[in-house]
Amino acid sequence: MSNNRFEKEKIELTPDTGFNLVGIDYFADSENQLYLIEHFQMYQDALNAKKDRKNQEEYFVLYKDQNNEFYSR
Distance CA(36)–CA(11), nearest Å, equals 12
Distance CA(66)–CA(21), nearest Å, equals 19
pLDDT tens over the chain, length 73 residues = 445 667 889 999 999 999 999 999 988 877 789 999 999 999 999 999 999 999 988 999 999 998 888 888 8
Are the C-beta atoms of 17 and 66 separated by less than 8 Å?
Answer: no
The reported pLDDT for the residue numbered 16 is 94
The reported pLDDT for the residue numbered 72 is 86
**pTM, full prediction:** 0.86
Tell me the three state secondary structure of residue 56. Answer: helix
Structural domain count of the chain:
1
* Domain hosting residue 62, numbered range: 4-72
